[in-house]
Amino acid sequence: MEKIPLSSPDISPKEIELINQVLKTPYVSIGPMVPRFEEAVAHYVGVKHAVAVNSGTSGLHLAVIAAGIREGDEVITTPFSFVASANCILYERGIPVFVDINPDTLNIDVERIEEKITPRTRAILPVHVFGQPCAMDKIMEVAGRYGLMVIEDACEAIGAKLNDRQVGTFGECGVFAFYANKQITTGEGGVLVTDRDDWDWLFRSLRNQGRDDHGAWLRHVYLGYNYRFGELNAALGVIQMERIEELLGKRAQVAEWYNERLADLELIERPYISSITTRMSWFVYVVRIKPPANRDEVMHRLAETGIPSRPYFTPIHLQPFYQERFGYKPGDFPVSEYMGEVSLALPFSSVMKEDQVEYVCNALKKILRK
């Protein structure tokens, strides 16, 4: 079989056609395609405003600024995530305060949030890990009682629903990301979504060097950034948003193929779907390798057969920078650490074929039987 990529974007001729149209115009930045993409995202998610930026990380940073996080302020979040969800707090000299995860959903353990709240806590930043919605009702209830902002890191979860409500719409704002391995892609890019008019204006200013959007082009009213989103990226995103239900459906089909073929493997635990999840938005397909099998050995054996796989995630608190900065050590967040040791992302994308899934699963079965 041909080499199976770990992930792959799903690009049709329609995306290429629209990108070529943009290349024939004078606009490759700050043109009409960006607002067209923003309107498509806002309509799909069901919010008043969507503001496109050059990455999900940039979006999270701007959300932290809007939430008023300053030096020494604490933001409660999860250690089981991509490092950007904690880094964005440090950019404003805030302090990430980690809460361990629920062993089933892999999302922040909502029952343990309240014990981490102090007089310095300003916000909660939940992460919808792998496209599984967090228990937002409980998070919003706790945040309301303590007067805390809520920023949803939905970078892995566009299209996911909790009780028929789109993720990203519960807190003050949500952030989606569109890297090449995401459910839809713009190459690089992200979007902030919010119903707050004041945050919409702030995000648009901050992404463009803090400029005054009231006609004074070179008047800068904030310390801003070059987080602008390009026209070519937006053109790709416009068509991807037109196809989003198709793309999410194809990913769900690939996940179903995996679930069927891995059901009888005792040393494999398939992804868990919470009972409160109306719709899982499949970002990756991550299994857990049960002892006595060893995740790293399985990963290396798969690589020998030409099948790529990756550990998802090494917990943030065990990253060298965080250990050096905050003194974290193994044992601080045991559930996250255990999941970091046993979780394995298998090849997954909306362009993956059933025979490729079959090939991966057969290879896994042979490895685990040995």
User: pLDDT (tens digit, 9 = 90+) per residue, 235-290?
Assistant: 999 999 999 999 999 999 999 999 999 999 999 999 999 999 999 999 999 999 99
Q: What is the structure's pLDDT at 216?
A: 65
Kindly list the distances between the CA atom of residue 259 and the CA atoms of 74, 183, 299, in Å, as whole numbers in the listed order: 39, 19, 19
Q: What single letter denotes the amino acid at residue 205?
A: S
Q: What is the structure's pLDDT at 215?
A: 58
Predicted confidence (pLDDT) per residue in 137-191, tens digit: 999 999 999 999 999 999 999 999 999 999 999 999 999 999 999 999 999 999 9
Angle at 244 between CA 104 and CA 236, to 5 degrees: 120
Q: CATH 3.90.1150.10 occupies which residues in the chain? A: 244-369
Tell me the angle at which helices 231-242 and 33-45 cross, rounded to the nearest 10 degrees. 30
Q: What is the structure's pLDDT at 219?
A: 87
- Reading across the β-sheet that carries 343-346, which strands appear in turn? 268-269, 285-289, 343-346, 310-311
Q: What is the structure's pLDDT at 273?
A: 97
pTM strictly above 0.85: yes
CA distance 5 to 345: 12
Q: CATH 3.40.640.10 occupies which residues in the chain? A: 13-242
Please check whether the domain covering 244-369 is classified as CATH 3.90.1150.10: yes
Q: What is the CATH number of domain 13-242?
A: 3.40.640.10
370 pLDDT exceeds 90? Answer: no
Predicted confidence (pLDDT) per residue in 28-37, tens digit: 998 999 999 9
CA distance 121 to 264: 45
| Residues across the chain | 370
Kindly list the distances between the CA atom of residue 311 and the CA atoms of 161, 170, 232, 349, in Å, as whole numbers in the listed order: 26, 30, 32, 17
Tokens in use for 264?
Answer: 């009888």
Predicted confidence (pLDDT) per residue in 105-124, tens digit: 999 999 999 999 999 999 99
Predicted confidence (pLDDT) per residue in 51-64, tens digit: 999 999 999 999 99
- Name which of 50, 25, 46 is nearest 36 in CA terms: 50
- Name which of 130, 139, 80, 131 is nearest 335 in CA terms: 80
Cβ proximity of 59 and 175 under 8 Å: yes
